[in-house]
């Protein structure tokens, strides 16, 4: 059973479309992070959300942490081919004092020109 359920697993869209990726759990997390991973490389942090209900924007990317700190979403506006990659959500559970990350399965995004 996956602690963090990420959906959809695959997303293939045209340039200029909007999309949303979801990350859901029945557990509470002290923080949620979103990463992007390119083939042959390690994940690179995009954002960390800590407070329930928090919304953060990074250019065309909008991240939201659920009020109960059990879920998060990533919304991309006007997707570009350069957005193509693997997007991962990862959480730090409330009981840990260090940054032990629990990852979702990932969403493979392909943006066609």
Partner 1 sequence: GAGVSQSPRYKVAKRGQDVALRCDPISGHVSLFWYQQALGQGPEFLTYFQNEAQLDKSGLPSDRFFAERPEGSVSTLKIQRTQQEDSAVYLCASSFHKNRNNEQFFGPGTRLTVL
Our finding on whether 31 is near partner 1 (CB under 8 A) is yes
Contact range with partner 1 by CB under 8 A, out of 12-20, 62-70, 73-81, 84-92: 84-92
CA angle centred on 86, ends 3 and 48, rounded to 5°: 60
CA–CA distance, 104 with 101 (Å, rounded to integer): 10
Which of 7, 24, 62, 102 binds partner 1 (CB under 8 A)? It is 102
CA angle centred on 23, ends 29 and 91, rounded to 5°: 30
Binding site residues, partner 1, CB under 8 A: 4, 6, 30-31, 40-45, 48, 50, 88, 90, 92, 96-106
């Amino acid at each position: 059973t996956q602690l963090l359920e990420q959906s959809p697993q695959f997303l293939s869209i045209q340039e200029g479309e909007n999309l949303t990726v979801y990350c859901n759990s029945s557990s509470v997390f002290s923080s949620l992070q979103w990463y992007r991973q390119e083939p042959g490389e390690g994940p690179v942090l995009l954002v960390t959300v800590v407070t329930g209900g928090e919304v953060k924007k990074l250019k065309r990317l909008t991240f939201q942490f659920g009020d109960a700190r059990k879920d998060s979403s990533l919304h991309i506006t006007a997707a570009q081919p350069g957005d193509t990659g693997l997007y991962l959500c990862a959480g730090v559970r409330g009981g840990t004092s260090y940054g032990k990350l629990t990852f979702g399965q990932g969403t493979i995004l392909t943006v066609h020109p």
